[in-house]
Amino acid sequence: MSKTDSNAANDKSATSNTNNTSDTSLSGGTRTGRAAIVTGGTRGLGAAITLALRDAGHNVAAVYHSNDAAAAAFEDRHRVPVFKWDVGDFAACAEGIARVERRIGPVDILVNNAGITRDGALHKMTPEQWWEVIQTNLGSMFNMTRGVIEGMRTRGHGRIVNISSINGRKGQAGQTNYAAAKAGILGFTKALALENARKGITVNAVAPGYCDTEMVAAVAPDVLQAIVAGIPVGRLGTPDEVARTVAFLADDRAGFITGATIDVNGGQYLS
Ligand SMILES: NC(=O)c1ccc[n+]([C@@H]2O[C@H](COP(=O)([O-])OP(=O)(O)OC[C@H]3O[C@@H](n4cnc5c(N)ncnc54)[C@H](OP(=O)(O)O)[C@@H]3O)[C@@H](O)[C@H]2O)c1
């Protein structure tokens, strides 16, 4: 990519709030000075979360894995620094977090959003399909959180938001790997919330339903039609609706909410 996290000329983008005119979110708010990391923050729900946190006044770094073109376009358009590493790799996370902290300061807000699907019925699933999803979607919770939690505890403040899924709540045929990882995130969230409740750190999960992203666009049209028919509000969610929920939980004033899971699914879990 033409612009990378190592490009010091872009450092100003971490604190700049000069929005591209095509941004639809709020702008010009008071800077909080808090540093935030959003994994998978350059596309889909993560991109919306990155922008919502930036517009809430935080200094945000967006992490991605392999889509250099999308990351470069995101950085160019929104002036948010992007960083490339694999959240499934513990050493890469430690090294990446150190790079982010040199650039924007100690991380006070972590959004563990990066996730993948490798769908298939269990009787046909390969070990690679299983472990890739577990490592990326659940292993990343440990890898990323381990790298920031001690600093948060020392400073007495932290906000961690983990992105689960409706399919971790209710199960989904063809997604034993994904549902296991997303359900595991909920246990991780509650245990970590208890460990850090006296340290000014909140740990919460957001469980989106089906939203209008590339991940969902990959679903077969007939399957998607059936999914939408089962959503009481009658439509897919928007990335912005998930992002605003995350920004709410990341706010300094959300300190009494911890260990919670917030469903953002148009009522689908009820139907
Ligand atoms: N979309 C939905 O309707 C929906 C519903 C429920 C839950 N979710 C959850 O919401 C999260 C975001 O979903 P999405 O639909 O926005 O996904 P997406 O559009 O496919 O974007 C995924 C993002 O995660 C990054 N990523 C993937 N693997 C990574 C890795 N190993 N290391 C670092 N970054 C990695 C990708 O980087 P690259 O750009 O480099 O590939 C990309 O930025 C996921 O956890 C997903 O399970 C989504």
Stronger pLDDT, 171 or 14, i.e. the higher one: 171
Which residue from 1, 42, 64, 269 has its CB within 8 A of the most atoms of ligand 1, so it is best to mutate?
64
pLDDT of 71 > 90? The answer is yes
Side chain identity, residue 160: I
For the Cβ of 46 lying below 6 angstroms from any atom of ligand 1, the answer is yes
In a domain, 251, yes or no: yes
**Percentage with pLDDT > 70 across the chain:** 89
In a domain, 62, yes or no: yes
For the Cβ of 39 lying below 6 angstroms from any atom of ligand 1, the answer is yes
Structural domain count, the chain:
1
Q: What is the CATH number of the domain that holds 92?
A: 3.40.50.720
pLDDT of 24 > 60? The answer is no
pLDDT of 11 > 60? The answer is no
Q: Please tell me the residue having the least CA distance from ligand 1 atom 24.
A: 40
In a domain, 12, yes or no: no
pLDDT for residue 214: 86
- pTM for this structure? 0.91
Phi, psi angles (nearest 5°) of residue 216: -80, -30
Stronger pLDDT, 219 or 21, i.e. the higher one: 219
For the Cβ of 40 lying below 6 angstroms from any atom of ligand 1, the answer is yes
Ligand 1, residue 137: give the atom nearest the CA.
45
In a domain, 7, yes or no: no
pLDDT-derived band at 219, boundaries 50, 70, 90: confident
In a domain, 18, yes or no: no
Report CA dihedral (51, 55, 58, 61) to the nearest 10 degrees: 20
Which residue range(s) make up the domain with 233? 25-270
**Can you tell me whether residue 31 is helix, strand or coil?**
coil
pLDDT of 237 > 60? The answer is yes
In a domain, 247, yes or no: yes
In a domain, 46, yes or no: yes
For the Cβ of 63 lying below 6 angstroms from any atom of ligand 1, the answer is yes
In a domain, 214, yes or no: yes
pLDDT for residue 18: 33
